[in-house]
């Protein structure tokens, strides 16, 4: 809804910066991820960023699309029913131009059903928010990951996880547990491009 990056450009950027696995997490759809999996010469994890009534969650290794607007419990249940992994993107970041983070009350309540937490997000406004996410992940025994949160091809590779190759969901979890997180902050000006993409799509509709 707030990006207009062609799949070919995304693939080209991944190859340019040396990324050989990507989780494509569009808002409310897996159509792009399914198509990219057919096109890309590297591993594509079919994923989705799902807007629940309490904020956003991520589903990895999906086979079916999950609609926005469900309760957090229902969305988590649907991810798990597909054998997918449940994650929380950019927790504790509640700035108005950012996608809505899962509220703290819900985050604590559903923590037993969460598989991973994004402890570094390149678009996060404040470093302290990432630090809080890392503390939460460690205190709840959750896997830690990073996300570029790329809405433009040029943002891809701003953050990444170096980890072993995997061939299944369980192997992914084992590799992520031993992975090393790297990343740098994105220029805040990129939010202007996301806002314009959102407005433009609304006008076209």
Domain boundaries, the chain: 7-204
Q: What is the pLDDT along the chain (205 residues), one digit of tens a residue?
A: 667 789 999 999 999 999 999 999 999 999 999 999 999 999 999 999 999 999 999 999 999 999 999 999 999 999 999 999 999 998 887 665 556 788 889 999 999 999 999 999 988 767 788 899 999 999 999 999 999 988 889 999 999 999 999 999 999 999 999 999 998 887 666 655 555 456 565 666 6
User: Would residue 137 be called left, alpha or beta, if left means φ above 0 and alpha means ψ between -120 and 50 degrees?
Assistant: alpha
Question: What number does CATH give the domain 7-204?
Answer: 3.20.20.140
d(CA 46, CA 32): 9
Q: Can you give the pLDDT at residue 198?
A: 61
Q: What angle do CA 124, 191, 150 make, to 5 degrees?
A: 65
The pLDDT value recorded for residue 4 is: 74
| Confidence at residue 9, expressed as pLDDT on a 0 to 100 scale | 95
Element (DSSP H or E) covering residue 27: strand 21-27
Which pLDDT score, from 0 to 100, does residue 72 have? Answer: 97
| Block residue for tokens 């491009």 | 193
Q: Is the dihedral of CA 114, 176, 26, 47 positive or negative?
A: negative
Task: Check the CA dihedral 185-189-195-201 and report its sign.
Answer: negative
Burial class (CB in 10 A: 0-12, 13-18, 19+), 63: exposed
Q: Strand 143-147 relative to strand 116-121: parallel, antiparallel, unpaired?
A: parallel
Q: How many Å apart are CA 81 and CA 43, to the nearest integer?
A: 23
pLDDT score for 184: 87
């Amino acid at each position: 809804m707030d990006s207009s990056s062609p799949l070919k450009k995304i693939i080209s950027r991944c190859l340019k910066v040396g990324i050989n696995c990507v989780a494509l997490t569009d808002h409310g759809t897996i159509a792009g991820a399914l198509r990219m999996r057919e096109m890309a010469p590297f591993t594509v994890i079919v994923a989705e960023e799902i807007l629940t009534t309490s904020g956003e969650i991520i589903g990895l290794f999906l086979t079916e699309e999950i609609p926005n607007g469900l309760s957090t419990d229902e969305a988590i249940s649907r991810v798990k029913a597909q054998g997918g992994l449940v994650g929380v993107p950019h927790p504790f970041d509640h700035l108005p131009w950012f996608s809505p983070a899962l509220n703290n009350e819900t985050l604590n309540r559903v923590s037993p059903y969460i598989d991973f937490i994004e402890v570094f997000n390149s678009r996060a406004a404040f470093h302290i928010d990432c630090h809080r996410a890392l503390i939460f992940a460690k205190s709840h025994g959750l896997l830690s990951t990073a996300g570029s949160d790329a809405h433009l091809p040029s943002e891809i590779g701003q953050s990444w996880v170096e980890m072993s190759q995997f061939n299944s969901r369980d192997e992914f979890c084992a590799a992520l547990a031993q992975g090393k997180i790297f990343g740098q902050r994105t220029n805040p000006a990129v939010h202007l491009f996301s806002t314009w993409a959102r407005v433009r799509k609304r006008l076209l509709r």
